[in-house]
Amino acid sequence: MDTLQHDGDEMEWKESARWVKFEEKVEEGGERWSKPHVSTLTLHSLFELRTCIQTGSVLLDLEGYSLPQIVDDIVDRQVADGLIGPELREKVSFVLLRKHRHQHKKPIHLSLADMGKSNNSPTSDSASGLHHSTEDLRAKSGSLGRLRESMKNKFMKKIPRDAEASNVLIGEVDFLDKPFVAFVRLAQATTLGGLTEVPVPTRFLFVLLGPHGKGKSYNEIGRAIATLMVDDLFSDVAYKARDRDDLVAGIDEFLDEVIVLPPGEWDPKIRIEPPKKVPSADMRKSVLNLNELGQVNGTAGGPGGGEDEEMPTPHELGEELQFTGRFCGGLWLDIKRKVPWILSDFSQGFHIQSISAVLFIYLGCITNAITFGGLLGDATDNYQGVMESFLGTALAGTVFCLLGGQPLIILSSTGPILIFEKLLYESNTIDYMELRLWIGLHSCLQCLILVATDASYIIKYITRFTEEGFSSLISFIFISDAIKKMVGSFKYYPINRVFKPDYVTTYRCDCIAPDQGEPLLFSSFAAVSPPHIVLPPYNLTGLDWSQLSKKECVKYGGALLGNACKYVPDLALISFILFFGTYSMTVSLKKFKTSRYFPTKCRSLVGDFSIIISILVFCGIDYLLGLDTPKLHVPTEVKPTRPDRGWVVMPFGKNPWWVYVASGVPALLVTILIFMDQQISAVIVNRKENKLKKGCGYHLDLFWVGILMAVCSFLGLPWYVAATVISIAHIDSLKMESESSAPGEQPQFLGVREQRLTGILVFVLTGVSIFLAPVLQYIPMPVLYGVFLYMGVASLAGIQFWERIKLYLMPAKHQPDFSFLRHVPLRRVHLFTLVQIICLAVLWTLKSTVAAIIFPVMILGLMVVRKMMDLMFSQHDLAWLDDILPEKDKKKEKDGKKKKDNKRTKAAEPESDEEPKSPLPPPVKIPMDTIGLPSAPDPPSPPSLTVSSPPSLTHLAPRL
């Protein structure tokens, strides 16, 4: 929008505001553009604009290729319509063809944010402001001119591709006694020299010239038409309108959605920040349709957890879980669904964001593999240990990511599997490895039967209630385990409260030689060593025991004596600093992505690599301090942890024949665990909130998990299933956001970078980690525990259950504006949350005892509890707090069809002689003599505007 500026007899057009998506004003004092903000219009200006369109000249599909030609056509139309006299032709043309000055002046000193931006976009010499700059800028050096061009190039990047401009010219002149108004739509968008700030072709032109004294009203009308032109619905009307009546109808439609803020109850000087998420035009159309049906806000239920109102939608998991009734029908459909995406599954992985995701998930996987492998070694007397855990993770993960239906899922071992392995090993009457092999084979067969019979259909009955309970439990396990390990560091590295610096001279530790009666050959240590370790004899004759180190003294059988022998440096504190520092720095760098500092690319890069940066920083701090903090221990040789077992387990020869058949009973528990853990994790990953586009593969995933069960059983490796928390972290590390082009526009979540490359690389790196031991041994374990804590906390984000728990601690006036709070009473929300808390507490208690072997059955129990909640809550409440069960959807669909049939029956009834009552209030007459605009031809004098019932877009559609 340009306004006419007077400097004595000289006149020029000066840019005063612009709209790409939101409004930006020229701040004269600061010599800069204002912060993008939502346009606030006066209702009076919209009615005045409506009169302008009704009474002014409207030229649609004008053939114009230059500004002088377009101005001549506008003036000719005004003269032909009798709106101005012929004697004013030259004066109006002279004013409209004055030069345009744009706001492109920038300070010489750039901020770091400006320096960090590149200018790669070319501009033509016809760009606005290039040959219409002011005298002071012409006198600047060539570097300042290049700086100006750089600023324009940066703005050009913010404009969407193939955008067209709408120019608004507002001015006061002394030779007119009534306003000169024209609305022009060109047949083809044309670049009109310096009319625009950047070389964007112009499609629309709005001109308003009037007598002096009404400049403020003219400016508000200009802002009104400019705001309408960036509105999706009105701009669509403007492109398709055939005459002025269509434009007036579009303004009336806009007025239908205008919300008036009463004066005196808000500060108009405050600029409204752009919203984080702008509703699309489709959503606005649906709102209009709902209003036409007479629905009132609050009467419709819908799934909610955010701030947007939504209609209730059935609990649909897509065609992936449709029961086919054919042998392997679901598996075949999964394969057909995934084949077209094979190439893109690899090509889309070549992105810098994938590097961050690989390193992040890799560190989480090896930490989990080492932790689980150590616990498994203790539980099974090293029949399975860290080496088996590494190789099993690499093998199972690589195969699954390469061939699975949802490669974003990360396989790992779980706590219930560890407890099952422990109980299985304690049955000493039969051979453990052979029994485990047959259990794995039976479980594989049972999984394949489930795949062949489309048993994954049962997942349709897993609603948000079960998903949130399961994912919250796994998240809390991650958080509690990380904290437990850090608390344990205070046990191994206690704080020396008894140590007093003043008595440091009295602290000593001496190495005492063994008794002379003992043999001089060292054999005491060999007696307590594992039988497979053979120690060489040491000659201890003439050894100076006082000069030995602590490790050498113990190694040679000496005794340590003194009050400083048990002294350990206070490593607990530095371990806690590394642990909490890694977590807090990761959280801060993740939030840095949406901060105000530095260019967008820099912030995005820091946000994507936040975890890697945090790990490197605190590993560097640990290295510089040089303290003996616990480090990551990785095997260095590829061999079984227990030397008396091989890499292949033989299926026969060590157990009675009946064991081969009876092992199918415990295998059933394993199958239930595998099925529930795998499919619930898959449902969480495939939620519609993640906007996945390549489809799911529940049957295909379960097929490969079953096959890998058999393979790992033959090789004596741990069993693997989907890891919920690590999979959610994988999704989070691959999220894509739009590059905010329009000033003030917030980045929008576009979806997830769906590919197989990151998962494959993670597990390949896990397999070769044994060769990276010299590097990995510098990573402190507290740093990795901090990564575990971040995974657990981050996976809680966005869970409605967690948000509802926090509502217990908030007064009603401070509670967030969640959509379910608008439609469900707070007491019912608290009751629903309480049931979930009780179920979570039962699962937690069960997980912590020996009864954890029936954990998968309790997951099925959650589905039973959810079924019983239909008796406690109405379907309306469950629609907002949870997903409705499939059979309830069918009932709701039938009810909806009945309502639609009743409405159609009423609509088909013959119309009566009486006119239908309009839902809008009666016409309102508003005087329009404020700026001296002439009235519309139809209404009688005095000048006024009659606002009748505006036609809806549905009625306008035939005309367009």
The mean per-residue pLDDT over the stretch 214-219 comes to 90
| 3-class SS letters over 366-396 | HHHHHHHHHHHHHHHCCCCCHHHHHHHHHHH
| Burial class, 192, CB count within 10 angstroms (exposed 0-12 / middle 13-18 / buried 19+) | buried
Q: Check the CA dihedral 371-374-378-383 and report its sign.
A: positive
pLDDT, tens digit (0-9, with 9 covering 90-100), for 429-473: 677 778 888 888 888 998 898 888 887 777 777 778 887 887 788
Q: Which has the closest alpha carbon to 705: 723, 725, 688?
A: 723
Q: Is the peptide bond before 934 cis (omega within 30 degrees of 0)?
A: no
Residue 35 domain-assigned (yes or no)? yes
Q: Output the pLDDT for position 596.
A: 76
The answer to whether residues 262 and 410 belong to one domain is: no
- Count CA atoms closer than 13 A to 48's CA, side-chain side: 25
Q: Give the count of domains, the chain.
A: 2
Q: Are 641 and 388 within 8 A, CB to CB?
A: yes
**What mean pLDDT is reported for the chain?**
75
Q: Is residue 922 part of a domain?
A: no
Q: 422 lies in a domain? A: yes
pLDDT higher than 60, residue 720: yes
In this structure, the answer to whether residues 347 and 254 fall within a common structural domain is no
In the three-class reduction of DSSP (H, G, I as helix; E, B as strand; rest coil), residue 736 is classed as strand
Answer yes or no: is 796 within a domain. no
Q: How confident is the model at residue 183 (pLDDT cuts 50, 70, 90)?
A: very high
DSSP 193-210: GGGSSSS--EEEEEEEEE
Closest CA to 106 of 144, 159, 156: 144
Domain boundary among 722, 740, 772: 772
Q: Same structural domain for residues 71 and 179?
A: yes
Tell me which of 652 and 762 has the higher pLDDT: 762
The number of C-alpha atoms within 13 Å of 903 and in the hemisphere containing its C-beta is 9
Residues near 124 by beta carbon (within 8 Å), at least 6 away in sequence: 199
Answer yes or no: do 379 and 246 share one domain: no
**Longest Cα pair distance anywhere in the chain, in angstroms?**
131
> Is the pTM here over 0.75, yes or no?
no
Give dist(CA 925, CA 940) in Å, integer: 12
Could you tell me the CATH number of the domain that includes residue 231? 3.40.930.10
Confidence (pLDDT) at 923: 41
Whole-number pLDDT of residue 521 = 39
697 and 763: one domain? yes
Q: Residue 533 and residue 134: Cα distance in Å, rounded?
A: 88
Q: Note the pLDDT of residue 540.
A: 58
In a shared domain, residues 271 and 341: no
pLDDT recorded at residue 283: 61
**Whether residues 338 and 254 fall in one domain:** no
What is the reported pLDDT for 461? 74
In this prediction, residue 311 carries a pLDDT of 45
Nearest CA to 583 among 620, 602, 621, 610?
Answer: 610
> Same domain, yes or no, for 254 and 339?
no
High-pLDDT (> 90) share of the chain, %? 9
Secondary structure percentages of the chain, helix, strand, coil, to 5: 55, 10, 35
Q: What residue type is 367 in one-letter code?
A: T
For residue 300, what pLDDT is reported?
Answer: 35
pLDDT band at 117 (very low <50, low <70, confident <90, very high): very low
Q: Determine the pLDDT at residue 167.
A: 92
Other CB atoms within 10 Å distance of the CB of residue 823: 22
Residue 169: its pLDDT value, please?
Answer: 93
Say what the pLDDT of residue 903 is: 55
Higher pLDDT residue, 385 or 127? 385
Within-domain flag for 320: no
Average pLDDT, integer, range 591-606: 78
Range of the domain at 407: 329-486+630-772
pLDDT at residue 315, as a whole number: 47
The pair phi, psi for residue 19, each rounded to 5°, is: -130, 120
| pLDDT at 404 > cutoff 80 | yes
In a domain, 548, yes or no: no
Name the more confident of 379 and 474.
Answer: 474
| Residue 138 maps to a domain | no
- The pLDDT of residue 943 is above 60: no
148-152, 550-554, 607-611, 700-704, range with greatest mean pLDDT: 700-704
Count Cβ atoms below 10 Å from residue 407 Cβ, excluding itself: 25
CB-based burial label for 865 (10 Å; 0-12, 13-18, 19+): middle
Query: What is the pLDDT averaged over residues 21-43?
Result: 83
Q: Are residues 223 and 355 in the same domain?
A: no
Residues 270 and 335 in one domain: no
| Mean local confidence (pLDDT), 381-394 | 81
Structure confidence at residue 861 as a pLDDT band (50, 70, 90)? confident
Which of 238, 257, 275 delimits the end of a domain?
Answer: 275
550 Cβ partners below 8 Å, 6+ apart?
A: 509, 511, 560, 565
Q: What was the pLDDT predicted at 928?
A: 44
**Phi, then psi, of 185 in degrees rounded to 5:** -120, 120
The answer to whether residues 373 and 472 belong to one domain is yes
- Looking at residue 853, its pLDDT comes to 64
960 vs 319: which has the higher pLDDT:
319
Do residues 82 and 226 share a domain? yes
Task: State what percent of residues in the chain have pLDDT above 70.
Answer: 75
Domain termination residue (choose one: 724, 746, 772): 772
Residue 325, helix vs strand vs coil? coil
- Which is more confidently placed, 305 or 167? 167
Q: What is the average per-residue pLDDT within 142-156?
A: 54
Q: Show the DSSP H helices in 304-351 as ranges.
A: 329-338, 342-347
Structure tokens at 460: 């349709």
SS3 state at 899: helix
Residue indicated by tokens 């190039």 = 153
- Where b means 16+ CB within 10 Å and e means fewer, 339-367 reads eebeeebeebbebebbebbbbbbbbbbbb
Kindly state whether residue 372 falls inside one of the protein's structural domains: yes
Q: Are strands 2-7 and 165-172 parallel, antiparallel or unpaired?
A: parallel
Query: Residues 534-558: what's their mean pLDDT?
Result: 67
Under the banding of pLDDT at 50, 70 and 90, the label for residue 883 is: confident
pLDDT of the residue at 285: 63
Task: Count CB atoms within 10 A of the CB of residue 499.
Answer: 13
> What's residue 213's pLDDT?
85
